[in-house]
A and B are shown apart, each in its own frame.
Chain A
Amino acid sequence: MTQWWEACAPVSAKVRCGSAKHQLRWQAGELIATDHEDAESELVLAALGGDEPECVRLVRAWGSHSDDLDVLALGPRSAKDKVPGPEEGTTMLSSGSGLIGLGSRRAASHPMIRPGGSGSSFAAVAYSSTLTVTSGLTVSHRRARGRHGDDPATQRRTELVDLMNLGPAFQLRLSATVAASWATRPAGQHRPTLTAAIAGRLAPAAAAWLKIDPDQVHVTSPEGDGWGELTMTGGDLSAALPVGWLAGVWAPGLAVVGGRLVVAVTGGSWPVLQVRSVSQPGREPEPGTVTRRRRGWTVAA
């Protein structure tokens, strides 16, 4: 069994931090502010009331949302499901060659940023929250600008949107982080959320795999510690896959490779992985090797 992040390529993004552009890098399941050598000390200083650099703030936000199920509720469901990051006018490079976000002022008018209720400080909060990737505002500046800065719910939401604004590659990795954290703990009262999270992501993949309507995919919670179960009944697919499938298989884009549904990654590291996949529902998974090419994952010869 390999770690879930082995299937994901490292990605990086440029963010404006103060007057400089700094790099955020995700690798091995962690987000790192590469230009802040002593980020931990800066976090401590920020906790004591000092200014928090933007890079450090995003790293802290990433950690605080690493088991936030709202990430799964809001994040992408498939490669076609775009959750826009910075607005048009922003230059975005793919993860393989780094990501540079040059957000525009228009990003500040992203509608979801608007805090509710009074609306009196809408402009201030919108301005501060959406420009986090691009403006490098410090926390103290934010508080000065937006009265909602002290509202934990608004702060949490703002952080989540800031993380989403890092772009699709980071959205997938954040989703994988959350799924991985829930894969090793009892679902408890969150079972419906996790079941729906799998259903929303498996349905488009299985529809493409079996050429059926996504609504014909029904997901239930798996029993036991195995890879799960896939059965076909009357044209409908019943699937029971563990939450770990989201982290290890779906997030790296491995759900369907070479006409087979991948159910687990068993070894290797990006870009060559050993996987177990099924050719049809009802069949047992078979081992195989997949390789990341320019156009995506392919079955290795």
Chain B
Amino acid sequence: MTEHGSGAARLVDTERAETYLRVLAEAELRGAVKQRPLRRPPWPWLERPQRRLRRVRPLRLLFRRVSRRARAVRIARLQAERPGFGRWLGPRRRHRQGGWFVSAHTLGGRHRSPNPTINAGITRLAAAAGTLVAAGALESAAADAIVDSYRLALVLRRRLDDWPFGAGWWGSPQRPTAGQPARPLTAISIGRHVPLALEERRAEVNLLSLVIDNDRAVLTLTAKPPPALDDDQPDDEPAEQPEDDDDDYEPTEFLFEATVTDDQGTDYDAAYYTNDADGDEDDDELWTSQLELTPAPATSARWLDLTLWPGTPPVRVPLDAPPAPPELTAEQLPADLRAEQCVSALAETMLKLRRLSPEAGPVAEFALPIVTGALTGAGVVAPDSPALRQLASLGRRLDFALPASLANLADTELPPAWRSVLDDADAADGPVGVIPAAAVLPDLDGTSWALAGLRSTAKSMQLRLFGWSLAGTDHRRQVDRSARLRETPGVWARDDTGRWHHAAGSESSQSDDQTDLTIELVPPLHPMATSVDLIVAGTSERVTVTLPLTWLTAGGPVPDAQVPGGEATP
């Protein structure tokens, strides 16, 4: 993606990069030992329940499903007992941090609370390690070993209690993932608009895509829920929402009734989840909705019959003859472009923060000196390289406080992609609609990604991505995440009018080895665009998906030319 930078990175000196990281670890350790050691717990037995909870983590998926089912049963009982109550209740996917039980941490007690200074040092080292790995200057295993060794040095000095997964894996070879997919990821575009008559109310559902892995299938959809039933209110006034549990407000309980069978007579457990409990701010459409089907359909299954509401005709989803996937191109990033990707990731962060807040955010200030310091310290890029000058120019244009190493660099012309997103930053002319995009991307950094839907609004574009990590165990990925320049793959897009789009935000939900991701890109699609290139980049590879803008309408997908700049359903 030469539009992103200058390609001015130098050949990489691995020994210099490793020396830089190890010396940085020494500097961090000097700072860490100035902190007070952790006190030992006065009640060592308190640690036991904490660890017991950790031990049950492999059962978490089961636990999650059981708890959701129990919640659904409770809601059903409440609905039966109190007519009118619970219309808005339902399981709601919650964000998890690092995939850990919160209770497992709280049981640890205050005496184990991590020192912020210690944690900041670990994060700095991990960020520098991730930068050098991303830049191709250091092997991931070598970087991990340095970070792990640093953490163990802290543990020995009682500056760090422990890392969440124990010290046993330190120095040991990476173990294979227990649950590697037994079948390849499959993504099938469905593209069906389903109007529903729920008693006297009408609802609409757009079935987008179906992603199947080895133990579940996820059907992405958008839904326009039925208007609320409230006899005491006029039809043109919105119904009151329950005040006692607004956290669980969800207007699409009708999707709890969905049932799924296949041609072999298998009944599937269909669990409905959404992140849009309150609907979109512009309308009442629920975008990030999905039905999770368990078990995953057998490879021999030819179709699924999806009944969204009792009594309505089923929607047949063919599995054996899916539509052709969009065009994909994958390429390895040469060493100089890998370094450039790091700079591009920083630029992405700066653009994102600038959009979130008119003032520079602390993350960028934090990341800038670390990443640029690692790149220059390890000799990956020259201190006055064009790539860094571009970054400095972007920082000035966005009014960021730059570290001294960047502040002294002269201005230069920005790459076309950066210029484009800056020029169109305030655009609000995007077409409104959804596209049942479905594609399985080649592995990026050990993670398989499946694209499962695109939504365009006047102000942005959103992608649904489902990830399955193939690399390492859960705790290994925990380190990887902290060491990476960014947790999600870098996503840029360019529509065929030449307008660029950068990732401005994301929402993710993670379980043991699966990640459900929604990425928002801005500015919006150009109203005259007919296709868009989605560029998903890992540290060493980049995939481009060329997606025709075939909007889903009531009659099925139609090319964009038939709804120019117009509004597709719902």
Contacts and interface: CB of A to CB of B under 8 A. Distances in A.
A290 interface: no
B18 A192 contact: yes
B162 A70 contact: no
A244 B167 CA distance: 31
Contacts of A154: 168, 172
Contacts of B473: 117
B157 interface: yes
A94 interface: no
Nearest to A87: B40
Contacts of B40: 87-88, 106, 109
B511 interface: no
Nearest to A88: B40
Contacts of B170: 116, 153, 157
Most buried by B among A112, A113, A189: A112
Interface string A92-132: 00000000000000100101111111111010000000000
B19 A191 contact: yes
A83 B158 CA distance: 8
A70 B15 contact: no
Interface in A15-74: 70, 73-74
Given A70-B171, A192-B22, A111 B55 contact: no
Contacts of A196: 19, 22-23, 25-26
A118 B167 CA distance: 11
B168 A74 contact: no
Contact of A120 (B21, B29, B55, B162): B55
Interface in B124-170: 149, 152-153, 155-158, 161-162, 165-170
Contact of B33 (A81, A114, A118): A81
B166 A122 contact: yes
A154 B175 CA distance: 14
Interface string B12-45: 0001001101110111011001000100110010
Interface in A187-224: 189, 191-193, 195-196, 199-200, 203-204, 214-215, 219
A84 interface: yes
Given A111-B155, A191-B19, A119 B171 contact: no
A77 interface: yes
Most buried by A among B22, B37, B156: B156
Most buried by B among A70, A191, A192, A204: A192
A236 to B, nearest CB: 13
A58 to B, nearest CB: 18
Interface string B401-431: 0000000000000000000000000000000
B54 interface: yes
B475 interface: yes
B47 interface: yes
B168 A115 contact: yes
Contacts of A189: 15
A113 B23 CA distance: 26
Contact of A77 (B29, B44, B475): B29
Nearest to A80: B33
A114 B168 contact: yes
A156 interface: yes
Contacts of B475: 116-117
Contacts of A87: 40
Contacts of B15: 189, 191-192
Contacts of B30: 77, 200, 203-204, 214-215
B167 A113 contact: yes
Contacts of B33: 77, 80-82
A114 B167 contact: yes
A273 B153 CA distance: 32
Interface in B237-285: none
Contacts of A191: 15, 19
A149 to B, nearest CB: 12
B162 A114 contact: yes
B166 A84 contact: no
B216 interface: no
A164 interface: yes
A151 interface: yes
Contacts, number: 121
B171 A156 contact: yes
Given A116-B166, A164-B156, A151 B55 contact: no
A191 B44 CA distance: 41
Given A77-B30, A81-B33, A116 B168 contact: yes
A117 B171 contact: no
Nearest to A113: B167
A148 interface: yes
A117 B171 CA distance: 13
B532 to A, nearest CB: 43
A215 B27 contact: yes
Given A112-B167, A113-B167, A195 B22 contact: yes
Nearest to B45: A109
B149 A73 contact: yes
A116 B167 contact: yes
Given A114-B168, A200-B29, A203-B30, A83 B157 contact: yes
Nearest to B154: A112
B109 to A, nearest CB: 13
Interface string B41-69: 10010010001001100000000000000
B26 A77 contact: yes
A148 B33 CA distance: 31
B121 to A, nearest CB: 13
Given A74-B156, A117-B175, A192 B19 contact: yes
Interface string A143-166: 000001001011011000100100
A74 B152 contact: yes
A76 to B, nearest CB: 9
A208 to B, nearest CB: 13
Contacts of B55: 118-120
Q: Which 4 A-B pairs have the closest CB atoms?
A: A115-B168, A116-B168, A196-B22, A200-B26
Given A84-B37, A116-B168, A117-B175, 9 more contacts: A77-B29, A80-B33, A81-B33, A109-B44, A112-B167, A115-B168, A192-B19, A193-B22, A196-B23
21 contacts: A70-B149, A74-B156, A82-B33, A84-B156, A106-B44, A112-B167, A114-B167, A115-B167, A116-B170, A116-B475, A117-B175, A119-B166, A153-B173, A154-B168, A157-B167, A192-B15, A193-B22, A199-B23, A200-B29, A203-B26, A215-B27
Interface of A: 70, 73-74, 77, 80-84, 87-88, 106, 109, 111-120, 122, 148, 151, 153-154, 156-157, 161, 164, 189, 191-193, 195-196, 199-200, 203-204, 214-215, 219
